[in-house]
Structure 1
Amino acid sequence: MQSFPPEIVDAVLRHMNSDHTDDNLVIVRANGVPDAVQATMTALDAQGGTWRVVTADDHATDVRIPWTIPVAERADIRKAVVLLYRSACRTLGIEPRTE
């Protein structure tokens, strides 16, 4: 399992958890936790991302979601997350936000 340097992982997690909290929810709701009320990205590597999810009944769990494209470089992470988000919007029948 290929990992990224800690500074890259930390920067991506910080960005996702401060600027994309709603996107995190959309992603996890479409990927197995439809009653999620909170989702925090906690880890990532070349194979996928991990979110800590809290459900409406206050149950917490970790959800691992694989990327749908190869991820080898930092720029690939953004592409992979955007694809997860857009796919999640389609699955949930919601309009994706504009970038």
Structure 2
Amino acid sequence: MTHLFDEAALTGVLSHMNADHAGDNLLIARAFAGESGVQPATITSSTMTGFDGEKGVWTASTEDGGTLEIAVPWPGGAISQRPEVRREIVALYDEACRRLGVDPRPHAWRSG
């Protein structure tokens, strides 16, 4: 059964991602939009709109004025704890950078 996070976790993570990581949201949307048949370069902005224990969800805007929902499974599998959300979003960011040929910035919380 998919874990559903409480409202405080949802609000906290989504507020942080959309206020502080708009560029990361855009990279993630562009990297994973191809699976929906949308060309990555046509995505002009992206907002993280939700998540649960199985996936993160972004709504992307395209240059033609359309929108697209992009649901991306967590790379490490199902999660159930709030700290795991950060780990999985960082993993998605790193994979998005790899797919798009972008050098990822270092992650201060990682050691070694």
TM above 0.5, yes or no, is: yes
For structure 2, list consecutive stretches of 5 or more residues without a partner in the other structure: 108-112
Is the partner of 1:50 in helix, strand or coil? strand
Partner SS, residue 58 of structure 1: coil
Query: SS in structure 2 opposite 1:38?
Result: strand
Distance (whole Å) between structure 2 residues aligned to residue 43 and residue 59 of structure 1: 19
| Structure 1: runs of 5 or more not aligned | none
Runs of 4+ in 1 over 2 A off after TM superposition: none
Partner of 1:40: 47
Does 2:64 match 1:63? no
Name the stretch that deviates more: 63-72 or 44-53.
63-72
| 2:80 aligned with 1:72 | yes
Deviation at 1:72, TM superposition (A): 1.5
Shift of 1:46: 0.3
1:6 paired residue number: 7
Cα RMSD, aligned residues only: 1.0
Q: Do the aligned residues in 1 keep the contact of 2:3 with 2:79 (CA within 8 Å)? A: no
Give the TM-score, by structure 2 length.
0.84
Q: How far off its partner does 1:66 sit?
A: 0.8
Structure-1 residue corresponding to 2:110: none
Q: Number of residue pairs matched?
A: 99
CA distance in 1, matches of 2:97, 2:63: 20
The amino acid that maps onto 2:31 is: A
Q: Give the deviation of 1:98 after TM superposition.
A: 2.7
Secondary structure of 1:98's aligned partner: coil
Q: Percent identity?
A: 38
Greater CA radius of gyration, 1 or 2? 2
C-alpha separation in 1, matches of 2:75 and 2:87: 10
Deviation string 1:56-80 (CA, Å, 9 cap, x unpaired) is 1111121111101131201100000
